[in-house]
Structure 1
Amino acid sequence: MFTRSTRSTVTFSNDFTIGYSQLELPPGTYEILVEEELIQGLSFEAYRRTATYLMIRGRGSHAGQTTMQMTTKEELEHAIACDRALSETTNDSEAALSPLEDTK
């Protein structure tokens, strides 16, 4: 069976939880690892997602350690949407405001 892994990053602006975990994670940039397997028997190449992991770097006395927390695409998308919504309602920075329209 042929498999492939894809790595990407996501940045959270606020504390967040993901999935059913009660562990609250701090804001920051996190690596996402997606594993997929080739679907055999098709006339074209297609892959099926088999696992999604959020890589959590240790801090403080756990610095240097990394934990892979299994999650799903839907749980990750939900955490990102919640983070975006919270940022939009709590951010008072003028830099985050949309530019004003030119009235000339």
Structure 2
Amino acid sequence: MHTRTRHSIVSFHYPFSLSGVDGVQPAGEYSIAEDDEIIEGLSWIAWQRTAAFIYLPLPKHGSSSQQMVPIDYAELNAALELDRERVAAGAD
């Protein structure tokens, strides 16, 4: 089975929280990794996301030490949308 990992950066203007992630995370940029696998048996190439992860700083270890935490990608998108709405509304 063919797999791939895609990396991206997301930006939050406001603190946010996700289930499975301890506490509220501060605003900032966060690295995201998405694992995909190819869907077999189709006449064209298609990929299906199988996992998503966010990289968070390890408490008390400085900004260079990170932990990779599994997340629900739909929940991440909802948190990003809420952040965009707050920016558009000029929320403090």
Q: TM-score range by the shorter chain?
A: 0.7 to 0.9
Of structures 1 and 2, the larger Rg is shown by: 1
Whole-angstrom CA distance in 1 between matches of 2:13 and 2:22 = 18
Q: Which residue of 2 aligns with 1:17?
A: 17
Runs in 1 of length 4+ with deviation above 3 angstroms?
Answer: 19-22
Gaps of 5+ in 2: none
SS in 1 for 2:15: coil
Residues 19-63 of structure 1, C-alpha deviation per residue, up to 9 Å, x if partnerless? 35451000110011000011112211111110011111235x222
More helix by share: 1
Give me the TM-score of the superposition, normalised by structure 1: 0.76
Residue-pair matches, total? 91
Whole-angstrom CA distance in 1 between matches of 2:31 and 2:54 = 6
SS in 1 for 2:77: helix
Show the 5 A alignment for 1:49-88: 49-58=49-58, 61-63=60-62, 64-88=64-88
SS in 2 for 1:17: coil
Gaps of 5+ in 1: 93-104
Give me the TM-score of the superposition, normalised by structure 2: 0.85
More strand by share: 2
